[in-house]
Amino acid sequence: MACSLVLWALTTVDEVKDFLGIVVADWDELFCMLINSASSFMEKSTDRRLVAWNWDLNKTGDRENCWYDGHDFMKLFLRQYPVNSVVAISISGDTIGAAAGDDYYGSTGYAIYNRQGMLYYGSGWTSGIQNIRVSYNAGYAAGTPEREELRQLAIALVAVVFQKKDKLAFKSERIGNYAYTKGDLKDAYEIYGCPAEDILLRYKRKWGGLTT
């Protein structure tokens, strides 16, 4: 199979085939491409990386999610969440450590509010332009209820398009660029059993990159 799943794919070819009751490998290439498209569609719809992912402040492509402006406030909302762990934080080049214990107020370290993706720092995030640098892991890990819900939705989206493959008259050069639509979300309702569009709206990023 020439197609390779993107690292942030929300399901696998085998999971889609199990769902559809397909054993043969005839459609594996199509499933791979549609999974990649579905995963990208869900990310764009929610403005987030949904699977657990390492964001490295030293990688140029990650800077939008790792570099932040300080405004002297105590709360910093990271662009990706939930936060599973923090690798490193610095303010204007000075390393900041985690708070010791549960008494965050007056502490010299930061505290993580995982689900919100918020970092609390009692000393305040010093004002500056992209002077706050954070490396961290964020997103939904395998086995969590949220990841399972997103996995099932991705499968439903792929199944909807696969069932329409003859009507869509797919050609190999455009399969990988299939653009999922609101119509696909409505059709997925029949398979998934609940409003697919509402699910993506619920996961849409509400905050990120702000200090308050």
Q: Which are the contacts of 128, defined by CB distance < 8 A and separation ≥ 6? A: 69, 70, 91, 92
**pLDDT exceeds 70 at position 107:** no
In this structure, are 45 and 57 located in the same domain? no
At 150-168, the pLDDT tens digits run 999 999 999 999 988 877 7
Domain boundary, last residue among 119, 138, 157: 138
Domain boundary, last residue among 97, 123, 138: 138
Q: Judge whether 8 lies within some domain.
A: no
In this prediction the pTM is 0.89
Q: Residue 174: which pLDDT band, with cuts at 50, 70 and 90?
A: low
Selection from 25, 30, 36 nearest residue 164 by Cα: 30
In this structure, are 133 and 63 located in the same domain? yes
In this structure, are 59 and 133 located in the same domain? yes
In this structure, are 28 and 66 located in the same domain? no
pLDDT of residue 195: 86
Mean pLDDT of 119-145: 96
Give the structural domain span for 31.
13-50+142-201
In this structure, are 86 and 125 located in the same domain? yes
177, 37 contact by CB (below 8 A): yes
pLDDT of residue 167: 75
Q: Judge whether 116 lies within some domain.
A: yes
**Which span out of 28-32, 137-141, 185-189 was modeled with the highest average pLDDT?**
137-141
Q: Residue 106: which pLDDT band, with cuts at 50, 70 and 90?
A: low
Q: Judge whether 170 lies within some domain.
A: yes
Q: What's the chain's average pLDDT?
A: 90
Q: Which residue has the higher pLDDT, 101 or 65?
A: 65
In this structure, are 63 and 100 located in the same domain? yes
In this structure, are 24 and 46 located in the same domain? yes
Buried-exposed string 79-88: b where 16+ CB fall within 10 A, e elsewhere: bbbbbbebee
pLDDT of residue 175: 64
Q: Judge whether 62 lies within some domain.
A: yes
pLDDT of residue 181: 87
Q: Judge whether 83 lies within some domain.
A: yes
State the Cα–Cα distance between residues 115 and 206, nearest whole angstrom.
12
**pLDDT exceeds 70 at position 105:** no
Sign of the torsion angle spanned by Cα atoms 182, 183, 188, 190: positive
In this structure, are 45 and 148 located in the same domain? yes
In this structure, are 45 and 66 located in the same domain? no
Q: How many domains does the chain have?
A: 2
Helix (H, G, I), strand (E, B) or coil at 64: helix
The number of angstroms, rounded, from the C-alpha of 208 to the middle of its chain's C-alpha atoms is: 13
Domain boundary, last residue among 109, 138, 167: 138
pLDDT of residue 168: 74
Mean pLDDT of 20-25: 95
Q: Judge whether 5 lies within some domain.
A: no
In this structure, are 68 and 115 located in the same domain? yes
In this structure, are 116 and 193 located in the same domain? no
pLDDT of residue 45: 95
Q: Judge whether 37 lies within some domain.
A: yes
